[in-house]
Amino acid sequence: MQMPAQIRAPSFVSTRRFFQQKLADLHKCNDLNQLRQLHALIYKFNLHKDPFVAPKLISALSLCRQMELAVSVFDQIPSPNVHSFNTLIKAYIRNSEPDKALELFREMRWSGIDPDSYTYLFFLKASTGLNFVKMIHAHVEKCNLYSDVFMPNSLIDAYSKCGLTGFIEAKMLFDVMEERDVVTYNSMISGLVKVGELTEAKKMFDEMPERDWVSWNAILDGYVKAGEMSAAFAIFEKMPSRNVVSWSTVISGYAKNGDMENAKILFDNMPVKNLVAWTIMISAYAEKGLAKEAIKLYHQMEDAGLKLDDGSIVSILSASAESGLLRLGKKVHQSIIRSRYKCGTLISNALIDMYCKSGSLNMAWQIFNTIERKDLVSWNIMIHGLAMHGHGQKALCLFEKMKEEGFAPDEVTFVGILSACSHSGLVKEGLHYFHTMVTDYKTEPQLEHYGCMIDLLGRGGHLNEAFRLLDEMPFEPNVVIWSSLLGACRMHNAVELAEEVLDQLVKLGPGIAGNFSMLSNIYAAAGDWGSVANARLQLRKTASKRASGASSIELNDELHEFTVMDKSHPKSDRIYQTINGLNQHLQRFAPNVVIAESPCF
C-alpha cells in the first residue's frame, strides 16, 4: 500500500536529519551494530571518500576494534592528507599496535607529507621509553610545533612516565613554560607521585590556581600509592565532589593494603560502577587467591552488561596467573571467544602467561602458535613456561627458533633460558648460555642471572663452583640465592655448608620457616638428631611469628592452599604419604631430586 505524500515527506526529512546528526557524532560511535548500519549508509551515498567523513569513520571503526575495515576505508581515500594519516595512526595506537602506527608514519613521510603537532601528540601517548620521547621532543623543537599548551603538556606527561631522569626533563619544561593551565599542573602532580615525591606533589597541589576532579584524584592516588590510607581517606572525604575515579582509587588502595572488607563496602556503596571499578575488585580478589569471590563478582559484572576491554582482560588474567586461578582465567578466555573480541598480541601474551602459571601448558602452547604477530614478550613467556614445567630442552629449542625468526634475546629471555637449564639439570648448556649472553649479546648479567647459575651449579652438585660464583658476582646475594644454596646443600647432604648458609639467611631478616625445615632434614639425613630437635624448635618459633609463603592449586572449583608445617588440609595424611612415596621412588632413579620436604612433624 502506498503512503500519502504528506506522511512520507517528513519521514524522509527526519531520516536525513537523523543521518546528518549521526555523521556529526560518528567518530564517537562505539556501538558496533549502529556503526554497521551507518557504514552501509555511508557507502551507499559514496561518502566514504569525503575528507570529513572518512577520518570519522576510521575513528569509529577503531573504537569498535574493526581495524581491518578502518584500514580499507583509509586505502580508499584518493589522496590522504595529514589529518587522514593522523586518524589511522591514532587508531593503531588505540588498538595497541604502535608498530603499525610507526610503519604508517614512514609511509606518510615517503608520500611527502610532513607530520604536524597532532601526529606527535598521538605518538607521545603511546611512548614508553625516554629515548623515544627525547627524539619526538627534538622534532618538535626543530619544527617549532609549540602552537599552544597541548604540546608541552603532552611532553611533560610523556617524560614524567620515564622515571626520575624523565621527570627532570619534565620539570625543566614546566619551569620555562610561559602559559600553564590546570592540565600542566595535573601532569606535574601525577609525575611527582610516580617518582615518589609526595611532599612536592602536595605542595604543587596546594599552590595551583584552580583544581578540578583530576587534580584531587591525582593527589588522592599519591596518598594511596604511599600506603597512607587514613590520609587518603581524609582527602576523599574532603573533596568537593567525587567521581568514579575517586571511588576506584580509594577502593584499590584498601584492596592493595589487604583490607578487602573496606574495599567491598566502598565498592557496594559507590554510585556508579564502571569497567575499571569492577576490574579493580575482581583482580584484587583474584590476587589474594579468593577464587569464589572473584568469580561471583565476575558473573555480576557480566550480568550488569559490561564488556571487557584490553585493560580489564590483562588485569584479571594477570591476577589469575599470580594465584593460579585457572577457572577465572578460563572464564575470561571463554568470554573473549564468545564475544569474538579481536585478540591482539597483548591479550594473547596474558593468556599464555595465565595458562603457563596455572599448569595448562598445552593450552598455552596452542595460543602461542596462533599469535599473528609474536613479539619478544610472547617468546619470553613461552620459554619461561616451558622452563617452569621442567621442559628444559624444549625451552632451548624454542630459543633457537626465536633467534631464527629474527628476535634478539634480552635479559628476560636469558633468565628463562638459565632457569630452563637449572630446572632440567643442563649444567653444560647453562654455562654455555651464561657465557654467550655476555660475548654474543652484550647483555650484562644481573642478580637474577647469577641466581640461576648458582642454583644450576648447586643442584648439579658443583657446590664449590656455586660458592665461587657467589663470591665473584658484583651483587650482594639475596634471600632467594641463599635459599637455593640451602636447597643444594640439602640435596647433597653438605651439613657444614648448610649451617653457614642458614647463618647468612638469618642475618638477612626474620627467619623463613621453610629454611629451618630444610635444615632439620639435612641433620636428619646425617643422623644428627640433637640438631634436628634444635632446628625444629627454631622452626616452631619462626612459623608462629610470621606467615610463610603458600602454594595453592585450584581443583574442582575449590582452592587448596599449603604452607610449611601445614596439616590443616582434610587429606593431609594422604598428601604427605604420596610425597614420601614419590621421593622414595625418585631416590632410586634420580638421587639429586627432591619433590618436597617430607613432613617431620
Please give the residue ranges that form the binding site for DNA (CB under 7 A).
Answer: 27, 51-52, 55-56, 59, 81-84, 86-87, 90, 116-119, 121-122, 125, 147-151, 153-154, 157, 181-184, 186-187, 190, 212-215, 217-218, 221, 243-246, 248-249, 252, 274-277, 279-280, 283, 309, 311-312, 315
SS3 527: coil
Residue with cell 602461542: 368
User: What letter does residue 407 receive in the DSSP assignment?
Assistant: P
The CA-based angle 535-537-542, given to 5 degrees, is: 90
Asked whether the beta carbons of 314 and 348 are under 8 A apart, the reply is no
Exposed / middle / buried, residue 6 (Cβ in 10 Å: 0-12, 13-18, 19+): exposed
For residue 204, the minimal CB distance to DNA (Å) is: 13
Residue 18 neighbours by CB distance under 10 Å: 10
Closer of 39 and 462 to DNA (Cβ):
39
Contact present, 317 and 348 (Cβ < 8 Å):
no
Q: How far is the CB of 230 from DNA (least distance, A)?
A: 19
- Element of type H or E holding 165: helix 163-176
* Least distance in angstroms from the C-beta of 225 to DNA: 8
Strand partners of residue 555: 558
Residue with smaller CB distance to DNA, 77 or 420: 77
**Closest C-alpha among 403, 329, 404, 393 to residue 367:** 329
Which residue lies nearer to DNA by CB, 56 or 459?
56
Quote the cell numbers at residue 5. Answer: 505524500
Nearest distance in Å: CB 347, DNA: 12
Nearer to DNA, 157 or 597 (CB): 157
Instruction: Report whether 452 contacts 423 (CB < 8 A).
Output: no
User: In the complex, what is the shortest distance from the CB of residue 123 to DNA, in angstroms, rounded to a whole number?
Assistant: 11
Helices (H) and strands (E) in the chain, counts: 33, 2
The minimum distance between CB 475 and DNA, in angstroms, equals: 30
For DNA, the closer CB: 282 or 396: 282
Name the phi and psi angles at 552, rounded to 5: -140, 155
d(CA 62, CA 55): 11
- Read off the DSSP letter of residue 325: -
Query: Given the complex with DNA, which of 225 and 540 has the nearer CB atom?
Result: 225
Whose Cβ is closer to DNA: residue 244's or residue 388's?
Answer: 244
Amino acid at position 341, single letter: Y
Least distance (Å) from DNA to the CB of residue 279? 4
Instruction: For DNA, give the closer residue by CB, 85 or 523.
Output: 85
3-state helix, strand, coil in the chain (%, to 5): 70, 0, 25
Shortest reach from residue 47's CB to DNA, in Å: 11
Please identify, using beta-carbon distances, which residue of 246 and 515 lies nearer to DNA. Answer: 246
Provide, rounded to whole angstroms, the least separation between the CB of residue 86 and DNA. Answer: 4
**Nearest distance, CB of residue 51 and DNA, angstroms:** 6
Which residue's CB is nearer to DNA, number 283 or number 378?
Answer: 283
CB atoms within 10 A of CB 445: 20
Please answer whether residues 200 and 167 qualify as being in contact, where contact means their C-beta atoms are separated by less than 8 angstroms.
Answer: no
Contact assessment for residue 74 and residue 88, using Cβ atoms and an 8 Å cutoff: yes
DSSP one-letter string for 428-493: HHHHHHHHHHHHTT-PPP-HHHHHHHHHHHHHTT-HHHHHHHHHHSSS---HHHHHHHHHHHHHTT
The residue (of 310 and 528) whose beta carbon lies closer to DNA is: 310
When the beta carbons of 86 and 422 are compared against DNA, the nearer one is: 86
CB 156 within 8 A of CB 185: no
CB of 495 to DNA, least distance (A): 46
**Which of 314, 315, 297 lies closest to 306, judged by CA?**
297
Q: Say how far apart CA 518 and CA 540 lie, in whole Å.
A: 13
Residue with cell 660458592: 467
Q: Which of 440, 438, 419 is nearest to 430 (CA)?
A: 419
Q: Which is nearer to DNA, 173 or 277 (CB)?
A: 277
Nearest-approach distance from CB 127 to DNA, in angstroms: 11
Burial of 565 (0-12, 13-18, 19+ CB in 10 A): buried
**Shortest CB 276 distance to DNA, Å:** 3
Q: Which residues of 527-552 are buried (b: 16+ CB within 10 A; e: fewer)?
A: eeeebbeebbebbeebbeeeebeeee
**Residue listed under C-alpha cell 578487602:** 260
Residue 250 or 361: which CB sits closer to DNA? 250
For the bound state, the minimum distance from the C-beta of residue 79 to DNA, rounded and expressed in Å, comes to: 12
